[in-house]
């Protein structure tokens, strides 16, 4: 997740191309931040569950 003061379309595109999974602009909207964190936790849980099945 990128949290930055730069929020143009180009800034967002560059962050995503650099490998960030999401982009938030300061000042942060705490509802959006919470959603991004929850989404990352779900992805991590799914990856862990998939790795456990392959081992």
Span 5-40, pLDDT tens digits: 999 999 999 999 999 999 999 999 999 999 999 999
Domain count, the chain: 1
Instruction: Say if residues 21 and 2 touch (Cβ distance below 8 Å).
Output: no
Query: How far is residue 20 CA from its own chain's centroid?
Result: 6
Q: How many residues does the chain have?
A: 55
- What is the pLDDT confidence band of residue 47, given thresholds at 50, 70 and 90? confident
Q: What local confidence, expressed as pLDDT, does residue 14 receive?
A: 97
Phi, psi of 26 (to 5 degrees): -75, 150
Tell if the pTM clears 0.75, that is, is over it: no
DSSP E strands: which ranges in the chain?
Answer: 2-4, 23-25
- Domain residues for the domain of 34 are 2-54
């Amino acid at each position: 997740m990128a949290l930055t003061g730069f929020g143009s379309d180009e800034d967002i595109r560059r962050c995503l191309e650099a490998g960030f999974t999401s982009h938030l602009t300061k000042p942060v909207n705490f509802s959006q931040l919470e959603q991004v964190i929850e989404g990352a936790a779900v992805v991590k849980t799914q990856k862990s569950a998939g790795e456990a099945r392959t081992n």
